[in-house]
Structure 1
């Protein structure tokens, strides 16, 4: 017995066109939604840097020293273990350039005591010495450090807020939006030239 019925017909060209238009609208909405989510994540990442910056200077305004560098920190909060800093104005080992430590676990260095002190002072949420993390999953560190000469720039020793394992395209977007678009110049820098990258993750550092 034939399953074909004389009255059956396929889609007309107009109906197919309408379906394709609807599919196109749905795809455009999905792509636009993904773009909006990506842009919001970049904005949240940048705002986290500003929040750390504000926390550092809130502590400085309150106690007269940067956290970690505070020479009276060990006596400020009963029951909280920290090591006094040397009070020289630098979050570092002495006056030397100090590479960022993204895996703090205890007292003894200014850049790790920094997190405990910010939390003990109720300026930063959380507890202990553990580094906070950013929206792309890497850790955050703060130190007085010499960023290397790369991408036609010159080395610069200063205080930096360092972000670990930032996707290359996010580094590029942040540098273009908020600085000069060069990984070796300005107030936003890297330890490698993320502006020339097409893949991978990089360290992104903000001068303060």
Structure 2
């Protein structure tokens, strides 16, 4: 009885197939990540448009609107009218009640989330050395944050209208805050 093993050609074919499968899985993950980044950018763009529409309609910023309970019936609170959206918990409620975004927000504890799962705020904050009103996205992988920054601004975490709390290292570091200022 003769024992027969695998030939080098058979082993090579198996290795090529494994390599192709691995390459497909990695490419698939890159496509999923790219789709998440596009979704986050679309969300930020839509939120900025909603803020502009609210401001055009009511001559106030959502969250900061001193007449919000009059402008959007059902609002649980008014802002202080200082031009700074520090009332970030009220902002999504005001936008939703005005019909400018979807969702239901209670004005105190509910918040929006990104495609990556981190919290999203319309907020007056200081991020990366710049302060002002903007959209803040929390807890993004640095590769996501860098891609968003590159598509919307200059790709640098500490300059322009998109700012991050830390450098982009491309090693899986989590950027705790990314702000898109308007």
Identify the TM-score tier after normalising by the shorter chain: 0.7 to 0.9
Q: Deviations over 1:92-151 (max 9, x none)?
A: 4xxxxxxxxxxxxxxxxx3222121111112222212211011222211122334453xx
Distance 1:178 1:74 in 2: 34
Q: What TM-score, normalized by structure 1, do the two folds share?
A: 0.74
Mapped to 2, the partners of 1:114 and 1:166 lie a distance apart of 22
| In structure 2, distance between residues paired with 1:11 and 1:132 | 56
Counterpart in the other structure of 1:123:
100
Rounded Cα–Cα distance in structure 1 between residues aligned with 2:18 and 2:170: 34
Q: Is the 8 A contact 1:160 1:205 kept in 2?
A: yes
- Paired residue for 1:188? 162
Q: 122, 135, 153: which is aligned to 1:142?
A: 122
Deviation, structure 1 residue 205: 0.3
Match of 1:102 in 2: none
Residue 196 of structure 1 deviates from its aligned partner by: 4.8
- List structure 1 segments (4+ residues) > 6 angstroms apart after TM superposition: none
Please, which of 172, 175, 181 is the counterpart of residue 201 of structure 1? 175
Work out the CA distance in 2 between the residues paired with 1:10 and 1:75.
82
Structure 1: gaps (5+ residues): 93-109, 150-155
Higher-strand-fraction structure: 2
Pair 38,147 (structure 1): closer, same or farther in 2 beyond 3 Å = closer
Asked whether the equivalents of residues 135 and 179 of structure 2 are also in contact (C-alpha less than 8 Å), the reply is yes
TM-score (norm 2): 0.84
Cα distance in 1 between the residues matched to 2:15 and 2:125 = 56
Provide the secondary structure at the position in 1 that maps to 2:32: helix
Give 1:20 shift.
Answer: 1.9
Query: In the superposition, relative to structure 1, how do residues 40 and 13 fare at CA in structure 2: closer, same or farther (>3 Å)?
Result: same
**What are the residue-to-residue correspondences of 1:1-208 with 2, within 5 Å?**
5-6=1-2, 8-78=3-73, 80-92=74-86, 110-127=87-104, 128-129=106-107, 130-149=110-129, 156-190=130-164, 192-196=165-169, 198=171, 199-208=173-182
